[in-house]
Amino acid sequence: MTWSTEIGDRYLTGYEARLVRKAVDCMHDKIVAELDGTDDKDDVMPYGVPEFDRLTPAQKLTTLEHVTRHLLTPTERTPGLTALTAGTVAAIFSTVGEMVTSEVALDVELRRDRDVRGMFDMHFWRKLLLDVAHETGCDPREVPSVQGRDYDDWDGVLDSIIGRVLQNDHYMKADKVLDAAPEAAQRYREKHGIEESYFISIASDPNGAELKVIRERLRALCQDDGDDAV
């Protein structure tokens, strides 16, 4: 299997895979706009994950392709779990959260404008979350309806989905651990069973030709497989 998750080594299938594909596809377009200079650097919205946010656009695409490949396809071994790879997974789910938040806000803003509402799916991301929730055995009584507009309700659904993939949030402690005294950092790692290399992994920095290949692989990974969601 290809990713060490809370419920064992596995790769994502079904609606879990579809949710990740859609989020990564959005991230690809956003990062490419940053890479090409289409988006002003000051206008680039962070993902709320320092390990990912501090990367250059090329490094983001490289790391995203590496993580997505291991999340979605069977590989011989699981990748070494580091703050960087775990943080990249967190950035993927942060994107899902942002898309749901934007969708709900737009739903509220256009609730009386039937002409505009009819032009696109006003519940696309919420449907994706509910598909995953139902597929993974959530109690239907504990999830909101697809028309739900309570942000906290959707955060709860997303948190339950994240919990099936990410085992902890040590990736958010990287700066604190690295800035701590050596003895304190060692105590933290020993307490949580963390390898020293977890906090010091470095993202690859591809050249132009390598980045072109990486982008092609990433876009291929984002293509829906008809057998995924049934």
pTM over 0.85: yes
Judge whether 229 lies within some domain.
no
What is the distance between the alpha carbons of residues 119 and 8, in angstroms, rounded to a whole number?
41
Judge whether 88 lies within some domain.
yes
Judge whether 213 lies within some domain.
yes
Q: pLDDT in tens for each of the 230 residues of the chain?
A: 478 888 888 999 999 999 999 999 999 999 999 998 766 666 678 999 999 999 999 999 999 999 999 999 998 888 888 999 999 999 999 999 999 999 999 888 877 666 666 667 889 999 999 999 999 988 888 899 999 999 999 999 999 999 999 989 999 999 999 999 999 999 999 999 999 899 999 999 999 999 999 999 999 999 975 445 54
Structure-token match 């982008």, residue found = 215
Judge whether 227 lies within some domain.
no
Quick count: other Cβ atoms within 10 Å of Cβ 48?
13
Judge whether 230 lies within some domain.
no
Query: What is the extent of the structural domain holding 188?
Result: 3-221
Judge whether 61 lies within some domain.
yes
Residue 10 sits at φ, ψ, to 5 deg, of -165, 170
- Structural domain count of the chain: 1
Give whole-number Cα distances, 73 to 1, 207, 229, in Å. 9, 25, 15
**What is the 3-class SS of 40-66, one letter each residue?**
CHHHCCCCCCHHHHCCCHHHHHHHHHH
User: Which tokens belong to 206?
Assistant: 């591809």
Structure-token match 């028309």, residue found = 147
